[in-house]
Amino acid sequence: MAAQAHLLLSMAWHFALISLFAIGGGVSMLIPQIHQEFVLQYHWLDERSFAELLAVSQAAPGPNFLLIPLIGFRVASWAGAGVSIVAFLVFPVTITFFVGRLLHQHENEWIARFRRAFRPITGGLWIASGLVVAAATDHGVIPVAITIGVAAVSLAFDISPLWWCIAAGIAGAVLA
Amino acid sequence: MNVGLTSVGGAGGPLRYVVVKQRKWLSEREYAELFGVAQALPGATAVNYAVMISDRFAGPLGPVAALAGLIIPSLLVAIAMLGIASQLAATNARFAAAENAVTAAVAGIFLSNGIRLIAQIWRGTPDLRAAWRAARVAVSALGIVLVAGFHMFVPLAMLVLLALSMIIETRLRGVNEA
C-alpha cells in the first residue's frame, strides 16, 4: 500500500514536471524524456510496453495526450490513469484558463514572437522523438524499413497518420 | 464537445470542423489564432484549446465538461484497445509483429512531422536572407543532436534552444524594421 502510494506520487511528480515543458508540439516532443525516465531510469515500463503504449495511443481515437493516462494505467491501473491525468493537466489547464481570459481582453503581441521562436525547436524535437523511438524499438531490418518508408510516404501524402499505422500493421503481420 | 471520440491521431482536424463549421463559434482566422495560443502554452494542445473555447462559450462549468468529454470516452476506448492488443500480442506472434510495425510507423510519422515543419520554416519565408533561415534550421538541428544524440534532459535542452531562438527572432525583428 505504501509502495503503491509512493509509486503514484513519484509518477505524478514526473508528469507534472514534464507537462510544463509540453510547449509548441504537445506530448510527442517529450517522448525522449518520458522514455528516459520511465523506461531507462526508473524501470516503471519495459521497452516492449513503451512501444505498445505508443502504438495504441496513436491508433486510438482521441488526442495524442492519451499516451499519458495510458502509461499511468499500465504502471498502476485505474488509480495510475487518474493520477497521471490530474498531474499532467493541473498546471497547464490552470495557466491556460487564466491566460485565455487575459488574452480575450487584450490580444498580446509577444505570443506571436514566442511562437515563431518555438517552431524550429518543435521541428527538431519531433525528429528527435522519431529517432529515439526508432532506436529503442526498431529491432531488425523490417521495422527500420517501415520507419523510413512511413516517413517518406507521409511526407509525400499528407493524410491522417492512422492510415499509415494500419498499413504498417498489415505489412508487419504479413512479413512476420 | 464530443470531439474526442471522432479524432484520430491528434484532435486538430475534427476540433476545427466542430468549432468553425458546425457550431460557428469562431471564424477560421480566430480559430487559427486561438489554436496558436493553445500550442504556445504548456500542456496538451487539444486540452488547452478545449479549456479556452469552453470558458468563452459554455459558462463557468464549461471547461470541466469539455475536459471530461474530450478525455473520458476516448481514454476508455484506448484502455480497451490496449487490453485487447497486449492479450493478442502475448499469444500471437503475427499480431506482435504487427504491433511492432505500428510503433515503427509512429516513429516514421514523428520524423515526417518534424521534417515537414522544418521544410516550412525554410521555404515559408523566401524573402528572408538565407543566413537567417539557416540559423532557424540550425536551432532544429542542435535540438536533434542534444536530445537524440546526447540524451540531454529535454527541459534543459528546450531552455537552451529557446534562448538561442529568441535571440535570432529578436535580431531578425531589427533587420525587418531597418
Number of domains in chain B: 2
Rounded to the nearest angstrom, the minimum Cα separation between B129 and chain A is: 16
Q: Is A9 on the interface with B (CB under 8 A)?
A: no
Average pLDDT over residues A142-159: 92
Lowest mean pLDDT among A43-52, A140-149, B9-18, B50-59: B9-18
pLDDT above 50: residue B8: no
Is the Cβ pair A32, B98 closer than 8 Å? no
pLDDT above 60: residue A165: yes
Lowest mean pLDDT among A33-47, A85-99, B28-42: B28-42
Which pLDDT band holds residue B178 (cuts at 50, 70, 90)? very low
Q: What is the pTM of this model?
A: 0.83
pLDDT above 90: residue A13: yes
Interface test with chain B among A65, A84, A107, A159, by most B beta carbons within 10 Å? A65
More confident residue, A63 or A39: A39
By residue range, what is the domain housing residue B53?
4-78
Whether B61 is covered by a domain: the verdict is: yes
Rounded to the nearest angstrom, the minimum Cα separation between B9 and chain A is: 5
Interface test with chain A among B67, B112, B121, B160, by most A beta carbons within 10 Å? B112
Is the Cβ pair B110, A51 closer than 8 Å? no
Is the Cβ pair B97, A176 closer than 8 Å? yes
Backbone φ, ψ for residue A61 (5° rounding)? -70, 150
ipTM for the complex shown: 0.85
Please report the beta strands in A59-129, taking only residues with DSSP state E, as ranges in sequence order. none
Whether B107 is covered by a domain: the verdict is: no
pLDDT above 90: residue B72: no
Q: What is the pLDDT of residues B118-127, one digit of tens each?
A: 998 898 888 8
- The long-range contacts involving B51-55, CB below 8 angstroms and separated by at least 24 positions, are B51/A93, B51/A96, B51/A97, B51/A100, B52/A96, B52/A97, B52/A100, B53/B19, B53/B25, B53/B26, B54/B1, B55/A97, B55/A100, B55/A101
Whether B147 is covered by a domain: the verdict is: yes
Which pLDDT band holds residue B38 (cuts at 50, 70, 90)? confident
- CB-CB neighbors (< 8 A) of B140 in chain A: 120-121, 123-124, 127
Whether B74 is covered by a domain: the verdict is: yes
Is the Cβ pair A23, B42 closer than 8 Å? yes
Rounded to the nearest angstrom, the minimum Cα separation between A143 and chain B is: 5
Q: Which residues of B138-147 are buried (b: 16+ CB within 10 A; e: fewer)?
A: ebbebbbebb
pLDDT above 70: residue B176: no
For residue B7, the SS3 value is coil
Residue ending a domain, among B44, B78, B112, is B78
Whether B112 is covered by a domain: the verdict is: no
Among A30, A107, A127, select the one facing B111 at the smallest CB separation. Answer: A127
What cell numbers appear for B36 in the block? 496558436
pLDDT of residue B55: 81
pLDDT of residue B70: 81
pLDDT of residue B177: 42
Whether B55 is covered by a domain: the verdict is: yes
Whether B116 is covered by a domain: the verdict is: no
Rounded to the nearest angstrom, the minimum Cα separation between B175 and chain A is: 14
- Could you give the percent of chain A with pLDDT greater than 90? 59
Whether B38 is covered by a domain: the verdict is: yes
Among A23, A97, A128, select the one facing B144 at the smallest CB separation. Answer: A128
Is the Cβ pair A62, B82 closer than 8 Å? no
What cell numbers appear for B17 in the block? 470542423
Give Cβ neighbours of residue A29 (< 8 Å, ≥ 6 apart).
A22, A23, A122, A125, A126, A129, B154
Distance CA B175, CA B178 (A): 5
A92 neighbors B43 (Cβ within 8 angstroms) = yes
Backbone φ, ψ for residue B125 (5° rounding)? -125, 70
- Chain A, chain B: beta-carbon pairs less than 8 Å apart: 385
